[in-house]
Chain A
Amino acid sequence: MKTNRVIEHFVAPVEETPLLATDSLKTDQAPLSLWADAWRKLRRRPLFIISAVMIALIIIVALFPGLFTQVAPNDNCQLANSDGAPAAGHPLGFTFQGCDVYSRIIHGTQASLMVGVFSVIFVLIIGVTLGALAGFYGGWIDSVIARLGDIFFALPLILGALVVSQLPFMRENRGVWTVVMVLVVLGWPQMARITRGAVIEVRNADFVTAARSLGVSRIGSLIRHVLPNALAPIIVLATMELGVFIVAEATLSFIGIGLPGSIMSWGNDIAAAKSSVRTNPAILLYPAMALSVTVLSFIMLGDALRDALDPKSRQR
């Protein structure tokens, strides 16, 4: 095929593509860490802004219910008002027991949120520790922790909660903390699994080997290099689980093994409203709405965080 074709030697004028110094560093932009980058992306996303505002509002309601209602939730319950329609000062009407619905929802926020937040904190402590150890060390530690997790994982939430909450100790001390305990016992394996996977992914990265060969101890490299890099999926799951735990509390309270009736919570209100669901469904609707909006906010936040922390989408 080598013919007598003449191939012309073409050279582009140098001015058109001036030569840059080999591998020069761009110095005109501000430094960008993973978190700074995530924040830059997040603050432009409506999904994040809406959910963050909602969550901030919910937290304020939980901390300072007095700011939002002057009506005490339980003091002025008069049976005369039972299932009453909205009246002046009582915008959402009255429950079957004649208590103010709006006030009960506002005051119920605290218990629901507390259950969610504390469950997530303890799930994080237990799940991340066990998951990280299992993923990082592997071998028999991994097997033991994985099987242990499977045992709890196999218990359906309601069934498991029924069993656990019937333990004598739990039955006698029913309250926020027993609900938290039930949820943590049944909820940690999920967190441990995610952590384990994330840790395994990072464990063999060159920078971990590099740290080890610098003299960093094994456990030191786990804490300083592996875990921070495995954090993104953990944070996303934690945010989403917060919503899930709030729903779970409501479920448990609804079937009567969650918070005792003396503690105001959305779950209890929904349970109490079931008797008047035909006559006055609004009573059921309002706490249920509060619940869904809260859960939706947390799940939306988790979704936005997942997108922002996705390493594949990182770029300049």
Chain B
Amino acid sequence: MTTADVRISEADLADKPLLEIRDLAISFKTGSGEVQAVRNAHLTIMPGETVAIVGESGSGKSTTALAAIGLLPANGRVSGGQILLDGEDISHAPEKRMIELRGNTIGMVPQDPMSNLNPVWKIGYQVKETLRANGRPSGPADVAKVLAQAGLPDAERRAKQYPHEFSGGMRQRALIAIGLSCQPRLLIADEPTSALDVTVQRQILDHLETMTAELGTAVLLITHDLGLAAERADKVVVMYRGQVVEAGPSLELLQNPQHPYTQRLVASAPSLASRRIQVAKELGVESDELLAPGTTPRGAVVVEPTMTEDVLQIQNLKKVFKLRSGFGKSTDFTAVDDVSFSVKRGTTTAIVGESGSGKSTVAQMVLNLLQPTSGKIVFDGVDTSTLNNKEIFAFRRRVQPIFQDPYGSLDPMYNIFRTIEEPLRTHKIGDKASREKKVRELLDQVALPQSTMQRYPNELSGGQRQRVAIARALALDPEVIICDEAVSALDVLVQAQVLNLLAELQSRLGLTYLFITHDLAVVRQIADHVCVMEKGKLVETGSTDEVFDAPQRDYTKALLNAIPGARLMLPPEVA
């Protein structure tokens, strides 16, 4: 572990690495002492090369990158090793030197486009600020040029606008413009597109690729998505628990992962694994074997779903919101427009769309939390809008939601027992002892130890909370579960685990899922039917295979093309 992990061939010996990280160790001071965040990290970036660091949240990938630009949080410090930029050790360089380097030698594109532009300054001013700080010409023409290079149309006018007038994708372009404005030799892009819709993500990354290739900029791309990393980078570095566990050429790493963690990651990455599962399904292989280990043994009884009956029918559903626009006036905004589809019992139907497509509004209406403006939702033969209070109460037992944000969907004041018991108590099911027994059973079903009962949500990880949310949804033995982006906030391995659990519960309990998501890769893993929504309208429906293999609409095609890693060559044993 003392040699650098990348060696240069004879022909390129003259080619010196731009950034070399050797034996890097970073520690943080916390309330409970010094915590090692990164150990023994090795990384080499050659000029013009794109290197991706992949890892789950908390693996130290962002910390490593921040150390390279000297922007560690105040309680963090480099406790060992070297960061060599052109042979100069900058791991303990004085702030003055770092200021010299930032901007024109090392640029940075931060993660969240929504919060990384100052809302009170015009975009142009924020670009100008960067140019001026690095002693470059900063007239209006220069600013417009920088923005135009980043792919902002009509850059001169755009420079005079404020961040709130920009969409997420445009803001990210502006941030890329700022990051590249001084033509740095290294650009650090920290999850540059994870907050954006897939199609926008693709455009931005394509553009970033062309731009950095033109300028000869090396890119350090930080991402949680192995598919995206492999597609965009020459070299992938996998980090796990603060260490580099594997590094190598991207394709080789995917095809021939050596470290058990990388193997696990490759097996679970939805963008890569999806086709495996499809193949596996056809061969009748249990999906567990392909996904992450460590879930429950499966139950012996498998309920054969009767695939014929429509449990949910959505007919010409429409929802119009009144938006306040000035004094006493309001404009109509049609969030959901004439949507019809039906869901068969025991199957999974996915509603796919980008942000603002109205997919979550549909879910809210199916849950009877929002009243449709027109149209009908028929559940088990009954129009849900005709239900009275008592019938709604009964309806709630049969249709349960699981929400996106595992940090928001559990009441922080309730311990896990009370959380899972609440539906039982609300519906006055059983006495205290029988309810406790049921809670224990539910925890078993979602593969959490029974001792979890006494814990509070803040003690659990995102995946564990989501499993608690699933247990709560299952408490009333519902027939339909609405998953609103239920796995979007989770790390890939955890995501695979939760998807696996959902699939297993479906086969055991005959559940029907309505799965709302923006992630087509996940859809392929779990859904039988797909509904694609765009701007409130349903543009395509069909079985998953139909939609994936022969998409009819351009929009669907664009979505499918945008799945990171979709264009990659699959490992030979799968394809």
Contacts and interface: CB of A to CB of B under 8 A. Distances in A.
Interface of A: 1-14, 16-17, 19-27, 29, 31-34, 37, 205-207, 209-216, 220, 225, 228-229, 311, 314-316
Contacts of A316: 458-459
A25 B464 contact: yes
A27 B407 CA distance: 20
B216 A32 contact: no
A10 B461 contact: no
Nearest to A26: B459
* Interface size, B (range): 35 or more
25 contacts: A1-B48, A4-B12, A5-B15, A6-B8, A6-B9, A9-B246, A10-B247, A11-B246, A11-B258, A12-B243, A12-B244, A20-B241, A22-B264, A22-B293, A22-B294, A27-B451, A31-B415, A34-B413, A34-B456, A213-B401, A214-B396, A214-B423, A215-B393, A216-B426, A228-B411
In the A-B complex, the 7 residue pairs with the closest CB atoms: A9-B248, A10-B5, A206-B409, A215-B396, A206-B408, A11-B258, A31-B454
Interface string B274-311: 00000000000000000011100000000000000000
Contacts of B292: 22
A23 B493 contact: yes
B464 A23 contact: yes
A301 B182 CA distance: 52
B411 A211 contact: yes
Contacts of B15: 3, 5
Contacts of A8: 5-7, 248
Contacts of A12: 1, 40, 243-246, 259
Given A17-B245, A22-B294, A29 B411 contact: no
A19 B260 contact: yes
A138 B221 CA distance: 45
B62 interface: no
Interface of B: 1, 5-9, 11-12, 15, 31, 40, 42, 46, 48-49, 213, 216, 234-235, 240-249, 252-253, 256, 258-261, 264, 292-294, 367-369, 392-393, 396-397, 399-401, 403-405, 408-413, 415, 422-423, 426-427, 448-449, 451-452, 454-456, 458-461, 463-464, 469, 472, 476, 493-494, 497
A242 to B, nearest CB: 24
B259 A11 contact: yes
A194 B31 CA distance: 30
A212 B423 CA distance: 10
The SS class assigned to the A binding surface is loop
B216 A10 contact: no
B461 A23 contact: yes
A25 B497 contact: no
Contacts of B31: 315
Contacts of A205: 408
B8 A207 contact: no
B459 A32 contact: yes
Contacts of B427: 214-215
A233 to B, nearest CB: 14
A214 B464 CA distance: 20
B281 to A, nearest CB: 22
Contacts of A27: 449, 451
A23 B447 CA distance: 11
Nearest to A41: B31
Nearest to A228: B413
B266 to A, nearest CB: 13
A215 B48 contact: no
A37 B458 CA distance: 11
A207 B247 CA distance: 41
Contact of A210 (B1, B413, B460, B469): B469
Contact of B246 (A2, A10, A29): A10
A14 B12 contact: no
A282 B115 CA distance: 57
A17 B408 contact: no
Contacts of A315: 31
Given A23-B493, A209-B401, A216-B426, A16 B243 contact: yes
A230 B249 CA distance: 52
A5 B46 contact: yes
Given A22-B497, A215-B393, A33 B456 contact: yes
A27 B464 CA distance: 13
Contacts of B476: 214
B49 A212 contact: no
B12 A207 contact: no
Contact of A206 (B12, B403, B497): B403
A6 B455 contact: no
Contacts of A7: 6, 234-235, 248-249
A9 B458 contact: no
A3 B12 contact: yes
Given A16-B243, A209-B401, A22 B493 contact: yes
A122 to B, nearest CB: 25
